[in-house]
Chains A and B, each alone.
Chain A
């Protein structure tokens, strides 16, 4: 290190300018990085979404592009984005997300509902439940979420939409009641939401 540089380094202006320069370079690198990856990330995320949508819709339910056929129901922060499945232009089903507070954090479920209000499929897409106890709500760990297939607001009756411990029809897990309770509540709320906004969703 030269003596001139050492003398410069101790000046206040040098410190401020060097810090600013580093910040500028870092920002530039981030902007360039973002530009380069933006399209590829959007594409990968769209593919992910298409995959998860396909999981809650049986084959042959839709012949349209669900990623494009969306409607926002509700206003503000509580608005729900609904993907609509159509066959030959006629709406056959809707797919949307619902969240409910679980044991550790919000559990987000993705649910497919047929036009007549029957559940086509439910998948938990995000959760932070206890590994080994609450994570049986994942399809990768257990078949529990498949219990919802074919259920609707009338079948079982509304008051039976709960885990068995609360007098309902859905199994809870040994050692974990709060988690399945939250999932059942989220799905029930999703069905209520669908029933309340049926015209808007299926228009």
Chain B
């Protein structure tokens, strides 16, 4: 697959949450605010990138029969090391992200990419795929988080400066002051509602794009592709 295809796949066509429907557990659990979604997304991206590179590096030496345990050990080790390093050297960030990092181990998107892509691809392609899948995941989590946060507490990117540093305090906006909030949006059902609406929106967009592409072709062909 060419680089363009990998980028498109990761960001949109095969987006971890919106298309593959993977990693829904962390996606529902942490997207109570835009900041949380962004933090989880960034941490997962780092792990995805490194795990894809490692898996691609050793892909020829691992027998198919034992590949899954090998990948699982690699990913778990990686996440533990990231956890230790953040705890030791970026302790303030760790207090915000700490809970999410342990959750990355159970993020099936990471094992999914290792198995479906990195174990069959050269290192550079795997690295690009990891990065793009990660960015696509971050995008999805941030969007879900922002919508839930806006409806649930009337703010956007609350506490962003804790995650990204004081220079990002300008991101924190209170859209609706003195807003009582729709509690359900912060609870898990709200996550599923928002995800469902976004999935429907993506399908509508995809159909529009497909229809535009197919306009020169016959009508019969365009219905088939939809």
Residue numbers of A with Cβ under 8 A of B are: 1, 5, 9-10, 14-15, 18-19, 22-23, 26, 29-30, 33-34, 36-37, 40-41, 44, 47-48, 130-133
A44 and B73 alpha carbons, distance in the complex (Å): 28
B interface size (C-beta, 8 A): 29
Given A1-B60, A9-B63, decide whether A22 and B73 contact each other with a Cβ distance below 8 A: yes
A40 and B85 alpha carbons, distance in the complex (Å): 9
Which chain A residue has the least Cβ–Cβ distance from B84? A37
Contact across chains for A133 and B60 when beta carbons are under 8 A apart? no
Chain B residue numbers with a CB within 8 Å of A37 are: 84-85, 87-89
Chain B residue numbers with a CB within 8 Å of A30 are: 77, 80-81
Chain B interface, DSSP helix/strand/loop, else mixed = helix
A131 and B183 alpha carbons, distance in the complex (Å): 8
Which chain B residue has the least Cβ–Cβ distance from A29? B77
Residue numbers of B with Cβ under 8 A of A are: 32, 60-66, 69-70, 73-74, 76-77, 80-81, 84-85, 87-89, 91, 95, 152-153, 181, 183, 186-187
Contact across chains for B61 and A18 when beta carbons are under 8 A apart? yes
Going nearest first, the 6 A-B pairs with the smallest beta carbon separation are A40-B88, A37-B88, A44-B91, A26-B77, A9-B63, A37-B84
Chain A residue numbers with a CB within 8 Å of B73 are: 22-23, 26
- Whole-angstrom distance from the CB of A14 to the nearest CB of chain B? 6
A19 and B74 alpha carbons, distance in the complex (Å): 11
- Whole-angstrom distance from the CB of B68 to the nearest CB of chain A? 10
Q: Contact check: which of B62, B87, B181 meets A132 at CB < 8 Å?
A: B181
Which chain A residue has the least Cβ–Cβ distance from B75? A26
Which chain A residue has the least Cβ–Cβ distance from B89? A40
Contact across chains for B88 and A18 when beta carbons are under 8 A apart? no
Chain A residue numbers with a CB within 8 Å of B63 are: 9-10, 14-15, 18
Chain B residue numbers with a CB within 8 Å of A47 are: 91
Chain B residue numbers with a CB within 8 Å of A133 are: 183
Which chain B residue has the least Cβ–Cβ distance from A175? B183
Cross-chain pair count, CB within 8 angstroms: 68
Sampled A-B contacts (8; CB under 8 Å): A1-B60, A5-B60, A10-B63, A15-B63, A33-B84, A37-B85, A41-B84, A130-B187
Counting chain A CB atoms within 10 Å of each CB, the highest count among B61, B74, B85 belongs to B61
Chain A residue numbers with a CB within 8 Å of B66 are: 15, 18-19
Contact across chains for B80 and A15 when beta carbons are under 8 A apart? no
A1 and B85 alpha carbons, distance in the complex (Å): 35
Chain B residue numbers with a CB within 8 Å of A15 are: 63, 65-66
Which chain B residue has the least Cβ–Cβ distance from A2? B60
Given A33-B80, A132-B152, A132-B183, decide whether A22 and B87 contact each other with a Cβ distance below 8 A: no
Contact across chains for B69 and A19 when beta carbons are under 8 A apart? yes
Which chain A residue has the least Cβ–Cβ distance from B90? A44
A30 and B88 alpha carbons, distance in the complex (Å): 14
A141 and B73 alpha carbons, distance in the complex (Å): 40
Given A26-B74, A131-B32, decide whether A44 and B80 contact each other with a Cβ distance below 8 A: no
Contact across chains for A41 and B74 when beta carbons are under 8 A apart? no
Given A5-B61, A131-B186, A132-B152, decide whether A33 and B85 contact each other with a Cβ distance below 8 A: yes
Which chain B residue has the least Cβ–Cβ distance from A10? B63
A41 and B86 alpha carbons, distance in the complex (Å): 9
- Whole-angstrom distance from the CB of A51 to the nearest CB of chain B? 11
A116 and B66 alpha carbons, distance in the complex (Å): 65
A177 and B88 alpha carbons, distance in the complex (Å): 38
A34 and B88 alpha carbons, distance in the complex (Å): 10
Contact across chains for B81 and A29 when beta carbons are under 8 A apart? yes
Chain B residue numbers with a CB within 8 Å of A130 are: 183, 187
Chain B residue numbers with a CB within 8 Å of A40 are: 88-89
A130-B187, A132-B181 known; 8 other A-B pairs, CB under 8 Å?
A1-B60, A22-B73, A33-B84, A34-B84, A37-B87, A40-B89, A131-B187, A132-B152
